[in-house]
Chain A
Amino acid sequence: MGNTKSLEVLAAGPLTTVQDIGRYGFGKYGVPSSGALDTFSLRVANLLVGNPEGEAGLEITLTGLRAKALVDLCLAVTGGDLQPHCNDAPLSMWQSHVIRRGDVVHFKGPRQGCRAYLAIGGGIDVASFMGSKSTNLGSRFGGLQGRPLRKGDVLNATEPHEHLAKAGLALRPSVIPRYSEEWRLRVLFGPQHDEFNKKGRRRFLHCPFEVKTQSDRTGIRLSGPLIERKEGLPESIISEGVVSGTVQVPGDAQPIIILVETVTGGYRKIATVISADIPLLGQVKPGDQVMFQAVSLEKALEALERTEQIIGMLKG
């Protein structure tokens, strides 16, 4: 009922997937959250087109998506600036638009950030697994048949015409996140910071790290000065649960920021990125520079409250 073919994929680019805000509560089955890396941007995009904030949208990595509207749609693009266009005209981000039947939305490539989020008024109608529509690429379920989008795919939306009146909603410019190629990520030390030597802990906070090309939705791999564990400690620890944003340091002493496709890990974690900065991890791309800054739990929660206030403003 009311389920309408909304968008046809003409080209998918290197990696475009269906993601919502994640699959939570199934860690004991080894099921990671998956979901949008930059949940802030996806939530905003959804609210701009009149969807519930947790609805599924498209996560577009770096470039390449071309998609044709099959009916009139209300649509918003947020997140990294991948130069979205509608036909030949640039499409302004962080606001919703009416896209007419036959219009082609496409992305020319990254100017800022790494991933754009496209929300369609009426959402993306795919099956939900364990309460989420997110694509789990490693285990091939969720999203569109558990795989990235490809040419010829057709996405369905629920009653898209009912969302057309939402077009024109915009996020206040002063609260639109700015992305650069030099990141300052706020962290809380722990859980195993005390198992690294002093030099390692100092370097972690005072030296820049470069993002390696082997970074993907499972983790951001960094290269920089060695973050060494205390002498006499074994390379790995007994496997334990991990969350996205935690910074693990394997035997080669080069940190990896864990993202959303992992539930357990067997290496020490020196620190964990604060919740308010987690969405930024989705915009970090290979070649960027990352520095870590330690903050208090109070500061972390203040920052999270500010983020939620912005979302709250859109919810009205």
Chain B
Amino acid sequence: MDRAPWRNLSGDVNSMIYKHLRYRIMGDRALLVEVGDEIHAAENQAVRALSITLEKHPIKGVTDVVPTYRSLLITYDPLKISLPALKAEISKFRKRMKPADLPEPRTFKIPVCYGGPYGPDLEWVAQHTGMSPEEIIRAHTGSTYSVYMIGFTPGHPYIAELPEALVTPRRESPRSHVPRGSVGIGTKQTVIYPFESPGGMHILGRTPWVLFDPNHSPPTLLNMGDRVRFFSIQQEEIAHWETQNPWKSWQPGL
């Protein structure tokens, strides 16, 4: 059988994992390795598995590996390793990789103060979906999600997949300043903004937790493959949650 060994990870046969990795060059010192062509759990697990394998067995000359939804960007020093040699190394790892390489996920429960000044788009989402703000909060806090990738700004998680009822287009015009800690939704993703930054998601609430600390190792609270649940807190509770140490808050398992 020429099935990808990781196709069975999620047990999902509808995923679009490529039979062979697809390579595209990004200049003379970066190689894009594509695993599939969709935002999908199976693709993402395959990316993560390959990323973990490359971390365990570093390839000489590789300077960074950036895993995303369905691809990895491998940056390398072309004076230390040639493009054909790099591709050969990566292809080799793909064959060797086993589903058991994936560590057990960690689950984080993230406090969010929904609505009011913290969630300026809660009303809009309610109108758009035909649900009440309470129902939106219940839906958003009712699922366990996965962190599919970190990107955009340091520690910024892309979390999926939202329940169908919460799927909305992104904002038509992105905000130029979204406050730090804002929790937003758009398409089938939910995100948390670790820094004040521009942003195109609908903001439902805010978490008092810090998601990035350059003094911490690793510097990000959430990492690819982590599981996330949100829970609703009141405005008066923000100060309490600010004093909690989120880095130790996770629990093993699903």
B26 at the binding interface (Cβ < 8 Å): yes
Q: Would A304 and B64 be within 8 Å (CB), given that A243-B26, A245-B27, A263-B151 are in contact?
A: no
| Distance between Cα atoms of A136 and B70 in the complex (Å) | 27
Q: Of A27, A129, A308, which one neighbours B65 at CB under 8 angstroms?
A: A27
Q: How many interface residues does chain B have, given as a range? A: 35 or more
Cβ of B27 and Cβ of A239 under 8 Å apart? Answer: no
B117 at the binding interface (Cβ < 8 Å): no
Residue of B nearest to A142 (CB): B214
Tell me the residues in window 98-124 of chain A with beta carbons closer than 8 Å to chain B beta carbons.
none
Residue of B nearest to A245 (CB): B27
| CB proximity of B52 to chain A, nearest CB, Å | 10
B104 at the binding interface (Cβ < 8 Å): no
Q: Of A31, A239, A241, which one neighbours B154 at CB under 8 angstroms?
A: A31
| Distance between Cα atoms of A139 and B154 in the complex (Å) | 7
Tell me the residues in window 244-285 of chain A with beta carbons closer than 8 Å to chain B beta carbons.
245-246, 263-264, 269, 272-275
Interface stretch of the complex, out of A60-68, A150-158, A185-193: A185-193
B63 at the binding interface (Cβ < 8 Å): yes
Q: Would A243 and B68 be within 8 Å (CB), given that A138-B153, A263-B151 are in contact?
A: no
B156 at the binding interface (Cβ < 8 Å): yes
* Interfacial chain B residues near A242, Cβ < 8 Å: 26, 73
| Distance between Cα atoms of A67 and B154 in the complex (Å) | 32
| Distance between Cα atoms of A123 and B244 in the complex (Å) | 39
* Interfacial chain A residues near B39, Cβ < 8 Å: 238
| CB proximity of B66 to chain A, nearest CB, Å | 3
| CB proximity of B110 to chain A, nearest CB, Å | 17
| Distance between Cα atoms of A188 and B27 in the complex (Å) | 5
* Interfacial chain A residues near B30, Cβ < 8 Å: 241, 243, 246, 272
Cβ of B78 and Cβ of A301 under 8 Å apart? Answer: yes
Interface stretch of the complex, out of B94-102, B217-225, B232-240: B217-225
B71 at the binding interface (Cβ < 8 Å): yes
| Distance between Cα atoms of A265 and B69 in the complex (Å) | 12
Cβ of A190 and Cβ of B26 under 8 Å apart? Answer: yes
Q: Chain A, 19-63, contact with B by CB distance < 8 Å: what is the 0/1 string?
A: 000001111111110000000000000000000000000000000
B108 at the binding interface (Cβ < 8 Å): no
| Distance between Cα atoms of A242 and B24 in the complex (Å) | 12
| Distance between Cα atoms of A281 and B65 in the complex (Å) | 24
| Distance between Cα atoms of A130 and B32 in the complex (Å) | 24
Cβ of A191 and Cβ of B26 under 8 Å apart? Answer: yes
| Distance between Cα atoms of A72 and B149 in the complex (Å) | 49
* Interfacial chain A residues near B68, Cβ < 8 Å: 238-241, 264
B67 at the binding interface (Cβ < 8 Å): yes
| CB proximity of B60 to chain A, nearest CB, Å | 14
Q: Would A25 and B64 be within 8 Å (CB), given that A191-B24, A243-B75 are in contact?
A: yes
Q: Of B32, B37, B64, B195, which one neighbours A27 at CB under 8 angstroms?
A: B64
Q: Would A30 and B26 be within 8 Å (CB), given that A239-B69, A241-B72, A242-B73 are in contact?
A: no
Cβ of B32 and Cβ of A28 under 8 Å apart? Answer: no
B28 at the binding interface (Cβ < 8 Å): yes
| CB proximity of B220 to chain A, nearest CB, Å | 5
Cβ of B69 and Cβ of A29 under 8 Å apart? Answer: no
* Interfacial chain A residues near B38, Cβ < 8 Å: 238
Residue of A nearest to B71 (CB): A240
Cross-chain pairs A/B with CB under 8 angstroms, 12 sampled: A24-B64, A29-B223, A30-B154, A130-B219, A238-B71, A239-B69, A239-B152, A242-B26, A243-B26, A246-B30, A264-B66, A305-B79
Chain A contact residues, CB within 8 Å of chain B: 24-32, 129-130, 136, 138-139, 141-142, 187-188, 190-192, 238-243, 245-246, 263-264, 269, 272-275, 297, 300-301, 304-305, 308
Chain B contact residues, CB within 8 Å of chain A: 24-30, 32, 37-39, 51, 63-73, 75, 78-79, 83, 149-156, 158, 194-195, 197, 212, 214-215, 218-220, 223-224
Given contacts A28-B150, A29-B220, 8 further A-B contacts (CB under 8 A): A24-B63, A129-B215, A188-B27, A238-B39, A238-B68, A239-B69, A241-B151, A305-B79
4 closest Cβ contacts across the A-B interface? Answer: A241-B73, A272-B27, A264-B151, A241-B66
